[in-house]
Amino acid sequence: MTSDSTTTPELLDQLLSNYSKPEDLTGENGLFKQLKKALIERALGAELSEHLGYEKGDPAGRGSGNSRNGTSSKTILTEDGEIEIAVPRDRGGSFEPQLVAKGQTRFDGFDDKILSLYARGMTVREIQGHLAELYGAEVSPDLISRVTDAVLRGGGAGVAEPPSRDRLPGRVF
């Protein structure tokens, strides 16, 4: 991304033209989620163009041996909850997206949320309930365990194992 790209006031006015309440920005179908989806899909399209060596609709792609072949749907977990994206494909099957790799189901920042909750002493089931309540994300206990286990095996990256429940101080209400 170039440093001279700016968001103009006109663009912001256009984006906020239907804004009337906070949910219009941050809600389930809010502007933030729509923008994240659109930006991810646009970036994936640019990655495919780079891979193929020509832009969508460019006659140079005819007879090139490999071309676009539609999209496949993929649901990823983000900080804003689940987002369904359309991932472009190529006929040769050689396209390997970099932004959202094949097999990747979580987008940057989601694992950090799981680790943060774990470090605060929440159980796997409590984390599962918290993520479902706040982000509408259905996350399996197995996924949560894999994320936390990977950190514990890898040296922790600064995240300590939470204290056991029997060592926690009593709760004051």
Q: What pLDDT sits at residue 161? A: 44
Provide the 8-state DSSP code for 99: S
Q: Are residues 88 and 115 in the same domain?
A: no
Q: Is residue 161 part of a domain?
A: no
Q: What are phi and psi of 73, to 5 degrees?
A: -85, 140
User: Residue 3 half-sphere exposure, CB side, CA atoms within 13 Å?
Assistant: 0
The residue among 148 and 55 whose pLDDT is bigger is 55
> Considering only CA atoms, which of 71, 81, 2, 88 is closest in space to residue 34?
81
The structure tokens 């989806």 sit at 37
Mean pLDDT of 74-102: 91
Residue 170 pLDDT more than 80?
no
Structural domain harbouring 59: 20-107
Same domain, 55 and 102: yes
Mean predicted lDDT score pLDDT of the chain:
81
Q: Residue 127 domain-assigned?
A: yes
Return the amino acid letter for 30: G
